[in-house]
Chain A
Amino acid sequence: MAEYKIKVKKSCDAESCGFRCQEACPRGVFLAVPAERHKEKQSIYPRHRITPRFSYFCDGCGICIPICPSQRIKVVLKMTGEKILKKPLANK
């Protein structure tokens, strides 16, 4: 596998959005990581951003792309550089 390259903009604020891409991704590609480097601050006001840490498992279904309310996710087929735009019809 590892056929797709995924980018998520660092501006992601998962708490505000509601972790939508994570809930939607059937392959468990996205990991929520603490946004705050200092554990004390994080424990008072927990914020997470999303990173595609497990992109190896992506099958290019495209579900996550329209789900992100501010278009922060980009999925690209590594071999051809083709950009996956949205959930393809065949997978609907």
Chain B
Amino acid sequence: MCEFCSEHGQDNRWYLNPENFSDKLLEDPKRAKTIEKLVGWGIDYYVDFTSRVTEMVNWPVIGKLVKKAVDRIAPKEHGGQVVSLEDSLQLLEYARDFVLLPCACRRLVSHKQEMACLNFGPVKDLMLRYVPGEPIEELTLDEARKLVRDFDRRGYFHQVLYAKIPFPICICNCEERYCTSLKQRFANGVEVALYKGHDVCKVDAERCKECESPWCASRCVFGAISYNPERGGVEVDASRCFGCGLCRGACVHDALSLVPREMVPQAAGKW
């Protein structure tokens, strides 16, 4: 369990604790302000600001101080954690008012319009109030579930985003090229921008049949899968695995599965 779970999970993963979806949490004025800041046209400024600040982590002298400040402040504002398909589907059970919105990262990084941002809770009302002209598609729970499955098949990894921990507001479905959270984590070493997920991938060596071109490896945006010529199959570097589970969908031999992070020594406690 990550630090968010120990504080907000009640013996479960924080985003699977139904209490964390309660509207009561919106009574916190700081949370309400964060959500308002994120919704609508404010997102352009938000991404610009946060990516500029996390870049400062690399600066000499003040870099370490900035990193400490970011680690402390981000959970009080906005951040995300990778989630598997199963966890995504389960957390949707606790949410309400599903709306599909255009992905801000794809728009800001590649000028691409794609409805891939699955929001819930208070977002719908705020969008209609602040940015009524923005494309918005209302969804039922069943439609939301189907959509997340489709995204998974397309190779989009899922991330649960919070507005001030532990209040989940969105499942984002993104790719390496566009995801600004992933970029901030890898370019600037800011883990809190995109926490690793609660699971890690495991290979069943008996079943791994050494495909000519291992599709599982090309699916992994985190570079955790490599071919081991001695064993004649692929290996997962658990310390690099984010637990997205996408690789599983590529394996016709059913050789890959997810296990809890705590069970794998190289990955345990590393978020």
Residues of A within 8 A of B (CB): 2, 14, 18-19, 22-23, 25-28, 30-34, 39, 42-43, 46, 48, 53-54, 56-57
Please classify how large the interface on chain B is, using the bins under 10, 10 to 19, 20 to 34, 35 or more.
Answer: 20 to 34
User: A33–B187 contact, CB under 8 A?
Assistant: no
Q: What's the nearest-Cβ distance from chain B to residue A73, in Å?
A: 15
Residues of B within 8 A of A (CB): 41-42, 44-45, 47-48, 51-52, 55, 107-112, 176-178, 180, 183, 186-188
Which B-chain residue is minimally distant from A18 (CB atoms)?
B111
User: A31–B48 contact, CB under 8 A?
Assistant: yes
User: B111–A23 contact, CB under 8 A?
Assistant: yes
User: A33–B48 contact, CB under 8 A?
Assistant: yes
Q: What's the nearest-Cβ distance from chain A to residue B203, in Å?
A: 27
- Given known contacts A53-B55, A56-B187, A43 and B41 CB-to-CB distance under 8 angstroms: yes
Majority secondary structure of chain A interface residues (helix, strand, loop or mixed) = mixed
The 7 closest A-B CB pairs, nearest first, are A56-B187, A19-B111, A28-B177, A33-B48, A28-B109, A54-B183, A22-B111
Given contact pairs A28-B110, A31-B51, A34-B48, enumerate 9 new A-B contacts (beta carbons under 8 Å).
A27-B177, A31-B48, A32-B111, A34-B45, A54-B109, A54-B183, A56-B183, A57-B186, A57-B187
User: A42–B41 contact, CB under 8 A?
Assistant: yes
User: A39–B42 contact, CB under 8 A?
Assistant: yes
- Given known contacts A28-B183, A57-B183, A23 and B48 CB-to-CB distance under 8 angstroms: no
- Given known contacts A23-B110, A54-B183, A56-B187, A31 and B41 CB-to-CB distance under 8 angstroms: no
Residues of the A chain whose Cβ atoms lie less than 8 Å from the Cβ of B177 = 26-28
Residues of the A chain whose Cβ atoms lie less than 8 Å from the Cβ of B187 = 2, 54, 56-57
Residues of the B chain whose Cβ atoms lie less than 8 Å from the Cβ of A46 = 41
Residues of the A chain whose Cβ atoms lie less than 8 Å from the Cβ of B180 = 31, 54
User: 29 A-B residue contacts at CB 8 Å?
Assistant: A2-B187, A19-B111, A22-B109, A22-B110, A23-B110, A26-B177, A28-B110, A28-B177, A28-B178, A28-B183, A30-B109, A31-B47, A31-B51, A32-B111, A34-B44, A34-B48, A39-B41, A42-B44, A43-B41, A46-B41, A48-B44, A53-B51, A53-B55, A54-B51, A54-B180, A56-B186, A56-B188, A57-B186, A57-B187
